[in-house]
């Protein structure tokens, strides 16, 4: 019997606005065979702040500790802003299937953000599956554009 390859490691994080959706997605991801690292919050606390959970997730993605990340807050906007402050992270708020795969294929998206108060669990799961199944095309024009963006991360 040949050894099985390790399951892809996915990171997830949410504040109170995305907590319920995070809990549902963790179950779906694990059932689908993914290894999931939960960066918090560990409980639904109305006074928590999304950067406290999204930034550690984003740093883990940038460091390669997890393959991709799922970041959640009430709207998904704050989580997106916070994640994109970490060099090496390319996060986007996604609400449609086309963007979920095209963002990876063309822009090498590595963090999807979703609004726990905006999308329901069924749509969120479909979007996450689409995001995780997509692969970067590696086309020269896309690599060129990503190099320009990475150059911005080097500015003082």
- Which residues are identified as catalytic? 73
Distance CA 32, CA 86 (A): 28
Q: Prior bond to 21 cis, omega within 30?
A: no
Q: Identify each DSSP E strand in the chain by its residue range.
A: 9-14, 35-38, 68-73, 91-93, 111-115
Distance CA 120, CA 142 (A): 32
Residues 83/104, Cβ–Cβ less than 8 Å: no
Please tell me whether residue 21 adopts helix, strand or coil conformation: helix
Sign of the torsion formed by the C-alpha atoms of 15, 82, 36 and 120:
positive
């Amino acid at each position: 019997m040949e050894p099985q390859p390790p399951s892809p490691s996915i990171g997830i994080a949410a504040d109170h606005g995305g907590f319920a959706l995070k809990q549902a997605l963790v179950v779906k991801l694990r059932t689908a065979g993914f290894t999931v690292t939960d960066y918090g919050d560990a409980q639904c606390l109305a006074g928590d702040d999304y950067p406290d959970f999204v930034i550690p997730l984003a740093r883990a993605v940038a460091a390669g500790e997890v393959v991709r990340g799922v970041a959640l807050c009430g709207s998904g906007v704050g989580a997106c802003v916070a994640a994109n402050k970490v060099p090496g992270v390319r996060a986007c708020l996604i609400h449609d299937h086309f963007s979920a795969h095209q963002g990876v294929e063309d822009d090498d998206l590595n963090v999807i953000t979703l609004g726990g108060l905006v999308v329901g669990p069924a749509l969120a799961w479909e979007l996450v599956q689409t995001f995780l199944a997509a692969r970067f095309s590696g086309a020269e024009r896309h690599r060129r554009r990503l190099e320009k963006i990475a150059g911005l991360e080097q500015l003082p």
